[in-house]
Amino acid sequence: MSDFISNFWHLYVAGLALVSIIACLLLLWFSGKAKAMTAHDNTTGHVWDGDLREMNNPLPRWWVGLFIITILFAFVYLAMYPGAGSFAGKFGWTSAGQYEAEVAKANEQVAPLYAKFQAMPVEDVSKDPQAMAIGDRLFMNNCAQCHGSDARGSKGFPNLTDADWLHGGSPEKIKETLTQGRMGQMPPMAAAVGSPDDVRNVAHYVLSLSGSPHDSLRAALGKSKFGACAACHGMDGKGNPVMGAPNLTDDIWLHGWGENAIVNMINNGKINQMPAQASKLTEGQIHVLASYVWGLSNNKSAAAK
């Protein structure tokens, strides 16, 4: 990797750009000085289609002038803008800087609108049609890639429309998750559980906790071995929101259901990451987005009642 970030590549790019421009200038100069062998009628002797002859006329002055202007423009551009390796140019322009400036300008323009919603409780914002339309756009642009356009998630990505929350579903917790992100880790536990047969027994015990189809004999044998998992999931298997440990009794399976899926989880563990959004979204946007996410399950539940 160090080969790609060494100073050599900066010098290579700068040298290539400058040599290319100078080569164009030299090509123009040599083409103007070179003399071609011509006949008495100023033709080169090449004939096509019977009577189409190649002349040896000089390049038009307007074309030569445009070529020279293009070369001069290239030198001026490299002096003002990045293009010569690591040299940033006199203006110090970057595409990232322009993007950030445009985002900041856009955020400034919509700040009064978000300030209005930020002054409202999440519960009220989640019932405001305008706020929810904005929240839907924010969700589609920043969250739907993982959680799906319907927010129902998929394998490895939580469903945001139910009442199952790894870290808690209060407005404060949702805003905390959006702002700081989450890093979930299930360490490999096979060594702590015991033999491969013990791992299978624990898998059936875990299935029994939610009333899922299981082998009752293996589940009974796995109950005592489940103690290795209780530090995070609790002896009753109901999980721990403080640690993000899932509830194993609710029949909701984030990473797949069944004996094989659970055995694989015990043997290999799992790392999941929810990226922080604080660097991408303003506080007002996070407030509206949190209200939208909170409303996906809470307003739905209230409507059902």
pLDDT of residue 58: 77
pLDDT of residue 160: 96
Element (H, E) at 178: helix 171-180
Q: What is the pTM (predicted TM-score) of this model?
A: 0.74
pLDDT of residue 1: 45
Q: 51 — alpha (psi -120 to 50), left (phi > 0) or beta?
A: alpha
pLDDT of residue 51: 80
What would the DSSP string read from start to end of 41-62? TSEEEEEETTTEEEE-PPPPHH
Helices 95-118 and 283-304 sit at what angle, rounded to 10 degrees?
A: 50
Weakly modelled stretches of the chain, pLDDT under 50: 1, 302, 304-305
| Residue 62: how many other CB atoms lie within 10 Å | 8
Residues in the chain: 305
pLDDT of residue 4: 59
pLDDT of residue 204: 97
CA-CA-CA-CA torsion sign (245, 246, 247, 249): negative
pLDDT digit string, tens, across residues 62-110: 999 999 999 999 999 999 999 888 888 899 899 999 999 998 999 899 9
